[in-house]
Amino acid sequence: MRRTFVALLLVLSLSAAAYLAWKGVAELMDRRAGTAYYARLSQSVGDSADVRLPEPTARRPEDEPLPSVTDVERPQPVSEIDFDSLRMNCPDVVGWIRIEGTVIDYPVARGEDNLFYLSHLPDRTANSAGSIMMDCACDPGFGSTVSILHGHHMRSGAMFGDLDEYAAEAYFQAHPTLRLFTPEGDFDVEIFAACTVDGRDFGYPTDFADEVAFNAFVADLQFRTGYDTGASAQWGDRVLLLSTCAYSFDTARFVVAGRIVEDEAGETDFAPEE
């Protein structure tokens, strides 16, 4: 009886070990598939950004043809990213973020909830890497006072796995801005805070009742940051907030906040709610 029990226990142990090994390999392959997908997508976007129309061939005045539709000056695209082409396979993409010199170079998807894109790529393929996801409470056109982006903290450093590197001032000094691409235009984002918060009570606000509430939000993030960024945000600015899991305690989250820099003319449809 004892030998039977020991044999059964051994079989169960081996089965469990085999399952865990299989699960580990499956997860590794899944992550590699996600990494390869994003690398291809980033490359395709980079290639499309390099496309330029050929210069017209010089003509003598007497040979100049009558004007045609093809001779009319084409308007310049408002974004470096061809969102029309991107949305053919990734219909829920609302933007793209890039931090030069880091792995962060990803499209931003927005779903009907905050669950789907935790486990799906922007083309809606199931994958544990998920997507960089805009919080569904935010305006898809980045018109909210705070536009919140969530991403997994991958052990490989992919997605938002390296976001907590901003806890070090030297890392911030090397990467003080990020680039936000949207169908309405591209913007620099000037980082003003990077810190750990408690996901249970942080609240992740998207809009504020008044200037006092907004200023308190900004000041709190700056106070939590372990160094002076030399940057800030004022009432009327739009803020981009990147968030990922942290592991200093169970409900810890690491966030990076930046001010979306408008063009010099100050032209924007954004206005804070009264």
Looking at residues 147-161, what average pLDDT do you find?
95
Residue that the structure tokens 């997860």 belong to: 27
Instruction: Indicate the pLDDT class of residue 274, thresholds 50, 70 and 90.
Output: very low
Q: What is the pLDDT of residue 177?
A: 98
How far out from the chain centre does Cα 135 lie?
11
Cα separation, 148 vs 242, whole angstroms: 6
Asked if the model's pLDDT at residue 70 lies above 80, the reply is: no
Looking at residues 129-139, what average pLDDT do you find?
97
Residue that the structure tokens 């969530």 belong to: 150
Cα angle for residues 147, 153, 157 (degrees, 5° grid): 115
Closest CA to 186 of 30, 81, 91: 81
Q: Mean pLDDT lowest for which of 42-51, 62-71, 158-167, 195-204?
A: 62-71
Q: What is the pLDDT of residue 18?
A: 52
Q: What is the pLDDT of residue 188?
A: 98
Instruction: Indicate the pLDDT class of residue 64, thresholds 50, 70 and 90.
Output: low
Work out the mean pLDDT of the chain and round it to a whole number: 84
Q: Mean pLDDT lowest for which of 66-75, 93-102, 171-180, 252-261?
A: 66-75
Cβ pair 255, 241 in contact under 8 A:
yes
Q: What is the pLDDT of residue 58?
A: 44
Asked if the model's pLDDT at residue 171 lies above 50, the reply is: yes
Looking at residues 161-175, what average pLDDT do you find?
97
Cα separation, 88 vs 108, whole angstroms: 15
Q: What is the pLDDT of residue 268?
A: 46
All residues at 6 or more sequence positions from 120 whose CB lies less than 8 Å from its CB, including other chains: 126, 127, 130, 131
Asked if the model's pLDDT at residue 62 lies above 80, the reply is: no
Q: What is the pLDDT of residue 23?
A: 46
Q: What is the pLDDT of residues 225-261, one digit of tens each?
A: 999 999 999 999 999 999 999 999 999 999 999 999 9
